[in-house]
Amino acid sequence: MQLPRSCDTFVVLPPLTKNNVIIFGKNSDRPQNEVQEVVLSKERVRNSKLKCTYITIDESPKELNSVILSKPAWMWGAEMGANDKNVVIGNEAVWTSNNEGDGDARQKRLLGMDLVRLGLERGNTAEEALDVIASLLEKYGQGGPCSEHDDSHIYHNSFLIADCKEAWVLETSGKLWAAEKISSGYRNISNGLTIGTKIDKHSEGLLESAIAKGVWDGKGKFDFRNAFSSGGDEIRQKAGESLLKESTEAGPFNVQDMFNILRHKESGICRSCDDTFPTQGSQVSSLSTNTMSVHWFTATPDPSVSYFKPFVFTPNAQVSSLTESPKEPKREHNLYKLHDQHVVRANNDKVSNSLREMEQGCLSEIEYFIQKYEQSEKTIDELDNLMKKCVEAEVKLYG
């Protein structure tokens, strides 16, 4: 199994956040030149069976949630996303010691990205989404190439799942899993197992399986990480944790603070387009029970030179077709191509500064709408085309 590379997911909870919201953030670091699209899926046609990236599974008998996804254009699943019930999920590659039989990630089963999308479509809370992912993992297993052009890029997965009230970390090894509930403070995951002895939910027979596999002697308190970890990027994990600590100590944590963490180059959390594994897309979500939740997506690589564009679920929400990939070998959507030409290759500071000004304008606009919403002036329909307009403004900037 190839050692996973890159990716980071973060969450900050009250009382550390501004306005007591939960703030989620993720960088999706993927193979070079792999295009990540941002798409909205609602009222998807349901049949008795559902074709995921590699395998066909039973479709949900229940109504599906609307979801916005940041996803590699070639696969069915998604690296990260949100649903209209205020649930967000991001996944990470992890390397574990359980690589035979049900743990053989070379076998085409459900990808971790498929599980992200399935959790969002079927889960109405963070814990419910966790239960969806866990049950599907136990039934179908996980595995298959996670790159369109590299069959050696295979791994198990960990997930950070949040809603307006709490967050969960779900870590897996084959069909085995453990989950930790996060009720306050902050948490981050990278490319290694992090759950130790604090296990709030787990797969049936986990401890017995650990003993049978020879990864635990049955003595003392069971530690999931010690039993199943086969390495990971502890340096980046610690760097992300330090950034969260610094940012939360500086004052109430807000959306801009999460933008800044995802743009941090020295830690390796943000990776440039010339990296072998660049940051291909980024998401930040502000989740609130009292006001509206807002989801921010770049839809372009390298957040340090990209513009986070806001999306709000409304009854008639739209996203731009300019972030949807065509079905062709390179799969470059229009925004990706223009950003590559005018920002990445041109290295134009003037354009980059204009993008940052547009982002600041969006932050101010969202704050204004939230204030109106809090004052019971229910104007959320005005935000139907919010992200669409932001994408179109970016395209117009590029000329």
Clarify whether 390 is annotated catalytic.
no
68 by Cβ neighbours in 10 Å (0-12 / 13-18 / 19+) ranks as buried
As separate numbers, helices (DSSP H) first and strands (DSSP E) second, the chain gives 9, 16
| Opening angle at CA 105, ends 101 and 109, nearest 5 | 90
Nearest to 17 by CA among 204, 224, 192, 167: 167
Please answer whether residues 54 and 44 qualify as being in contact, where contact means their C-beta atoms are separated by less than 8 angstroms. no
Tokens of 136: 């599907």
H or E element that contains 158: strand 156-162
φ/ψ of residue 116, rounded to 5? -60, -50
Q: Which of 7, 52, 146, 273 is catalytic?
A: 7
Does residue 216 sit in helix, strand or coil?
coil
Nearest to 170 by CA among 231, 114, 115, 100: 115
Q: Which residues are catalytic?
A: 7
